[in-house]
Amino acid sequence: MVSCPTGTIAMAKEVNGKGYNYAYPINPELCNGCANCAMVCPDGVITVYKTKI
Amino acid sequence: MERELRLMKGNEAIAEAAIRAGVDGYFGYPITPQTEVIEYLMEANPAETTGMIVLQAESEIAAINMVYGGAACGKKVMTSSSSPGISLKQEGITYIAGAELPCLIVNVVRGGPGLGTIQPAQSDYFQATKGGGHGDYHLIVLAPASVQEMADFVELSFELAFKYRNPVMMLSDGAIGQMMEKVYLSPQKERSKTVPEWATTGKPSTRERNIITSLDLDPNAHELFNIKLVAKYNMIRENEVRYEEFQCEDAEYLLVAYGTSARVCQKSVQIARQQGIKVGLLRPITLFPFPTKRIYELANRVKGMLSVEMSAGQMVEDVLLAVNGKVPVKHFGRMGGIVTTPEEVVENLESNIIGG
Amino acid sequence: MVDAIGIKEIIKPENLVYAKTKIMTDNTLSYCPGCGHGTAHRILAEIIDEEGLQSEAIGVSPVGCSVFMYNYLDIDWQEAAHGRAPAVATAIKRLLPEKFVFTYQGDGDLAAIGTAETIHACNRGENIMIIFINNGIYGMTGGQMAPTTLPGMKSSTSPYGRDVKTMGYPLRITDIVATLPGTYYVTRQSVHTAANVKKTKKAIRKAVQYQKLDKGTCFIEIVSNCPSGWKMTPVQSNKWMEENMFPYYPLGDLKTPKD
């Protein structure tokens, strides 16, 4: 959200099993694979793949 | 094997024996009356011969934590200090016991409490055998009574420490630390290359990671761990009691004493017997495990026991527990750093036990 | 566009840009949401992975929020008593000099109870890496004042704000340590943005190299947030950190090698 330069991820309205609003890709089309989100994530939950189309 | 004969101070004997036993590391701090240990090691410079690390730490606290780190790597490591410094080490000692690590801690006891005095005493018995640090744990405690035992017990301590994965304390006193006697030294042993499977040495792909810790927040798991420790201490009580008897076969009265007090009492036994009193001496060599069974057996044969210690009376409580009310048990001992004389002991035996 | 290709086409090993390193175990972290510890752990784990140090690394964990660090990184660990980690690490490195030895400590551990151990290990120039997580508060025990708590900052033991007259000034321990000749590389970083994560990773990588070359103590302070202790949301806490912590604890190298 703060780290993502393209506005791809945001906090979900739903909560996960721990009771937290989790991060999820709200606009997956905007993702450019910079992996800023993954680098900053304290819980290390993000894996990033990038391919040419 | 040829043993070398030397005339040495008790403290120096510990240092020389440590080098010869292949100890990997010594971490200490100066304090009277045991500073000779680190001075001797620094001068001997075993880093050049055996590769043994000798480091003067910034405090006794740092030294015991260095022992923790070295022990967790599976190495033979030790420290030494005297009463006030041993008090500082209690936190580290309970961590070492809680992480089940092997090591040797030498306490050359001086008079206390507080800064006390630099003369010898035996007032750290409670601290050594009943805890000192927090939690349910025990140190194996060996009490040397001669410079020879100061040397021999180093190797023995590490044997016991690694056998049970438990810290071992050598409870000496300022008199034995400072006095000079002849001592036979074992030949140089090579430093061990075997690595215990629990030690942290860098995780190879062949095993899970090793974690050395004393923390467990799960009460069920932690209770099981404490039960395991209790079982370990019971095994130690079963198998590792050591003591020496002097003229106990026909004794009607028993002196119980360790360390310097035992040396004094040997003379007291001779003096008393010349006066017709049939007295014997039981010298515990292990203070934990205490020779409870043997003292209980002897309580069947004697009319009274006198616990002679340079303190206000600490080991006497263990003698009372062992005797379990069968015969009277009293304590005699000078404090403040004063060493009892053999004649004083006999006088006290006569007035307190035989007369009283 | 994602649908045009299909997820299965994208998720292939050759398309991987970033994945959590296998040095981080799959245990769920115990940290509060948004806490910098998680990020700091992960980049340390990444360096251990990238530099091939899994069989060489021996870590010493502190008493504090990160006491269970040994559950999160798959290397050999020793749990030290509060503040004593530099002494523990000293012995490990002296007895196993070829291993990569480091401590990971918080502000109470390193700058309160452990001040003597910290300063003396650095003074002896022990060839270890010390990672110092500075969030100006005692997290694990519920948010008490730390030696690095800022003046006026509220905590559970300074409920009216830190009063320098009775409680002293914040301790810039890193500055003190940088004056000791035994330290070789002293730096202050953060992990709250991707750019800073990259810088911190670079700093840790340097410390690994220097330890291999036997250069002396490498001391890396990571100014971090504590959303729970500071009673803010994670995003608020990072902003607050930038506006308040960084002016007092400026990021950057305090001591760089001369050669």
* Domains recognised in chain B with CATH numbers: 4-192+229-238 (3.40.50.970), 244-355 (3.40.50.920)
Give, in order, the Cα–Cα distances in Å from B244 to each of B51, B99, B282, B323, C24: 36, 32, 6, 18, 56
Residue C180: partners with Cβ closer than 8 Å, 6 or more residues away: C119, C122, C123, C125
Task: Give the nearest partner residue to C42 out of A44, A49, A51, using CB atoms.
Answer: A44
Among candidate residues B190, B170, B175, the one with its CA nearest the CA of residue B80: B170
Tell me how close the Cα of C251 comes to any Cα of chain A, in angstroms. Answer: 18
Q: Which residue type occupies B261? A: S
Give, in order, the Cα–Cα distances in Å from C13 to each of A18, A39, C46: 30, 19, 18
* pLDDT for position A3: 87
Q: Which two tokens stand for residue B43?
A: 């001068």
Could you tell me if B6 and B56 are in contact, meaning their C-beta atoms sit under 8 angstroms apart? Answer: no
Q: Nearest chain A Cα to C190, which residue?
A: A40
The predicted model gives C199-205 an average pLDDT of 97
Tell me how close the Cα of C21 comes to any Cα of chain A, in angstroms. Answer: 9
* pLDDT for position C5: 66
Could you tell me if C116 and C123 are in contact, meaning their C-beta atoms sit under 8 angstroms apart? Answer: no
Q: Do C116 and B58 touch (CB under 8 A)?
A: yes
Tell me how close the Cα of B245 comes to any Cα of chain C, in angstroms. Answer: 41
Q: Which residues of C touch A38 (CB under 8 A)?
A: 17-20
Could you tell me if B159 and B118 are in contact, meaning their C-beta atoms sit under 8 angstroms apart? Answer: no
| A-contacting residues in C 218-247 (Cβ below 8 Å) | 235, 238
Q: Nearest chain A Cα to C46, which residue?
A: A39
Q: Nearest chain C Cα to A40, which residue?
A: C194
Q: Residue C4's pLDDT band (boundaries 50, 70, 90)?
A: low
pLDDT at C259 over 80: no
- Beta strands in chain A, from DSSP E residues, in sequence order: 9-15, 21-25, 48-49
Residue ranges of chain B with per-residue pLDDT less than 50? none
Residues in chain A: 53
Tell me how close the Cα of B100 comes to any Cα of chain C, in angstroms. Answer: 12
* pLDDT for position C11: 82
Task: State what percent of residues in chain C have pLDDT above 90.
Answer: 92
Q: Give residue A11's domain range.
A: 1-53
- What is the DSSP secondary structure assignment for residue C210, as one 8-state letter? H
Q: Which residue type occupies C155? A: S
Domain ranges across chain C: 35-255
Tell me how close the Cα of C165 comes to any Cα of chain B, in angstroms. Answer: 30
First to last CA, chain B: 52
Dihedral sign of CA atoms B40, B41, B42, B44 in order: positive
Chains A and B lie in contact, requiring 3 or more CB pairs less than 8 Å apart: no
pTM comes to: 0.94
The SS3 of residue C163 is coil
First to last CA, chain A: 26
Q: How many CB pairs under 8 A join B and C?
A: 128
* pLDDT for position B329: 96
Q: Which two tokens stand for residue C161?
A: 């704000």
Half-sphere exposure at residue B8, Cβ-oriented, CA atoms within 13 angstroms? 23
* pLDDT for position B294: 97
Q: Do C18 and A48 touch (CB under 8 A)?
A: yes
As a whole number of angstroms, the longest Cα–Cα distance in chain C is 66
Could you tell me if B287 and B294 are in contact, meaning their C-beta atoms sit under 8 angstroms apart? Answer: no
B70 touches chain C (CB under 8 A): yes
Q: Which residues of B touch C120 (CB under 8 A)?
A: 57-58, 62
* pLDDT for position B90: 97
Strand partners, C111: none
* pLDDT for position C3: 60
Q: Which residues of B touch C81 (CB under 8 A)?
A: 65, 68, 91-92, 95
Could you tell me if B169 and B142 are in contact, meaning their C-beta atoms sit under 8 angstroms apart? Answer: yes
Tell me how close the Cα of A24 comes to any Cα of chain C, in angstroms. Answer: 15
Euclidean distance between CA atoms B97 and B93, whole angstroms: 6
- Condensed to tens digits (0 to 9), the pLDDT of residues C128-152 reads 999 999 999 999 999 999 999 999 9
The average confidence (pLDDT) of chain A is: 88
Strand partners, B167: B103
Q: Nearest chain C Cα to A34, which residue?
A: C17
C63 touches chain A (CB under 8 A): no
3-state secondary structure chain B: CCCEEEEEEHHHHHHHHHHHCCCCEEEECCCCCCCHHHHHHHHHCHHHHCCCEEEECCCHHHHHHHHHHHHHCCCCEEEEECHHHHHHHHHHHHHHHHCCCCEEEEEEEECCCCCCCCCECCCCHHHHHCCCCCCCCCCEEECCCCHHHHHHHHHHHHHHHHHHCCEEEEEEEHHHHHCEEEEEECCCCCCCCCCCCCCCCCCCCCCCCCEECCCCCCHHHHHHHHHHHHHHHHHHHHHCCCEEEECCCCCCEEEECCHHHHHHHHHHHHHHHHCCCCEEEEEECEEECCCHHHHHHHHCCCCEEEEECCCCCCHHHHHHHHHCCCCCEEEECCCCCCCCCHHHHHHHHHHHHHHC
C80 touches chain B (CB under 8 A): yes
- Chain centre to alpha carbon of residue C16: 28
- Condensed to tens digits (0 to 9), the pLDDT of residues C41-94 reads 999 999 999 999 999 999 999 999 999 999 999 999 999 999 999 999 999 999
Say how many domains are in chain A: 1
Could you tell me if C68 and C30 are in contact, meaning their C-beta atoms sit under 8 angstroms apart? Answer: yes
- Condensed to tens digits (0 to 9), the pLDDT of residues C84-126 reads 999 999 999 999 999 999 999 999 999 999 999 999 999 999 9
Residue B290: partners with Cβ closer than 8 Å, 6 or more residues away: B129, B241, B284, B318, B322
Dihedral sign of CA atoms C66, C67, C68, C72 in order: positive
Q: Which two tokens stand for residue B115?
A: 């800064």
A17 touches chain C (CB under 8 A): no
Angle subtended by helix axes B10-20 and B147-164, to nearest 10: 40
Q: Nearest chain B Cα to C103, which residue?
A: B69
Q: Which residue type occupies B6? A: R
The ipTM, to two decimals, is: 0.93
C84 touches chain B (CB under 8 A): yes
Could you tell me if C255 and C69 are in contact, meaning their C-beta atoms sit under 8 angstroms apart? Answer: no
pLDDT at A19 over 90: no
Beta strand B286-288 with B140-142 is: antiparallel
pLDDT at C228 over 80: yes
pLDDT at C2 over 60: no
Q: Which residue type occupies B103? A: C
Q: Domain C35-255: give its CATH superfamily.
A: Thiamin diphosphate (ThDP)-binding fold, Pyr/PP domains (3.40.50.970)
